[in-house]
Amino acid sequence: MYNSYLDTFICVADCGSFNKAAEQLFISPTAVMKQINALEKQLDLILLNRTAKGITLTKAGESIYKDAKYMIAYSEQAIKKAGKLAQTERKTLRVGTSMLNPCKVFMDLWYQVSDQFSQFKIQVIPFEDDHDGILSVISQIGQTFDFIVGVCDSSQWLYLCNFYRLGEFRKMIAVPHSHRLAKKKRLKITDLYGETLMMVKRGDSEINDLLRDDLERNHPQIHIEDTPHFYDINVFNRCEETNQLLLNLECWRDIHPSLVSISVDWNYTIPYGLLYPKKPSNTILEFLDALSSFDLSQD
């Protein structure tokens, strides 16, 4: 309805800083600056005075700031009005999908129950896996997406959305095809002695922190290397390039063609399911309520 860069512009104006706006928007300061530069180019106006002391609005920026708030409010009213009209029509569920968070689980589920839900249709919306930007994607649940299918033990994710559990995936170890362990069908923890194991750093996943505690306390022969809290393809590439081990998930076993994922003699798993908005629409609640009557176990 309106240029989405206006949201970024208003946030920068309210914060008086690219860095503070980036924190609120869950994107990098560079991304914020690119959006503002793109907006100024599109409008052919200078909206911000950039100084060492911070950000202030130009006269043109002040005018756009006031009118943008009106445009956004008007757009929201228009969308609500259209939404009410759409209630009498078929209801669309928007499902996000990416390489690390594929919607296949949702679609498999949908094919099981779709005969019962003729009032719903599915729209698949792709997004990029980027550990720097994933929180921005999660924050869009309820706006761009109604659901994202994912594994979830992240306190940062669960702060931004709700979680409908469908099952769990085993934690495995990924190794390059050239690694000495690659031909093993199953690993003992002692097989990892003397190796470097890449896993997410502490502080966001209770399950990963428990596993790390176990390894550090009982198996100090395994060296642990921190990765970012959220994987992207660069993490898998590094595993292959350095010939190290990577804590992986059963659902990601085919992500990288140069890595093989092997089960381990432990009982560590992570839940997966549907990420949905903190304030779900009636359509989402209706779907989840109907879903609860089915046996959805995929363990």
pLDDT tens-place values along the chain, 299 residues long: 567 788 899 999 999 889 998 998 888 999 999 999 998 998 899 999 988 778 899 999 899 888 888 887 877 787 777 766 655 556 788 999 998 999 888 888 888 777 777 778 889 999 988 888 899 999 999 999 999 999 989 999 999 999 999 999 999 999 999 999 999 999 999 999 999 999 999 999 999 999 999 999 999 999 999 999 999 999 999 999 999 999 999 999 999 999 999 999 999 999 999 999 999 998 888 888 878 876 555 44
Of residues 185, 184, 183, 187, the one with CA closest to residue 197: 187
Residues 274/293, Cβ–Cβ less than 8 Å: no
Q: What pLDDT does 71 receive?
A: 80
In this predicted structure, what is the pLDDT of residue 2?
A: 60
| Contact present, 233 and 128 (Cβ < 8 Å) | no
Ramachandran area for residue 81 (φ above 0: left; ψ -120 to 50: alpha; else beta): alpha
- The alpha-helical segments, DSSP class H, found in the chain are 5-15, 18-25, 29-43, 59-86, 104-113, 134-138, 155-160, 206-218, 233-242, 282-291
The predicted pLDDT at position 114 comes to 77
* Residue in 183, 178, 198 with CA at minimum distance from that of residue 262: 183
pLDDT at 51: 84
Residue 96: both structure tokens together: 């996000």
Q: CA–CA separation, 167 vs 113, rounded Å?
A: 17
The reported pLDDT for the residue numbered 6 is 87
d(CA 198, CA 190): 16
Instruction: Give me the pLDDT at residue 69, please.
Output: 81
Residues 6+ apart with CB under 8 A from 268: 170, 171, 207, 210, 211
Q: What's the pLDDT score for residue 298? A: 45
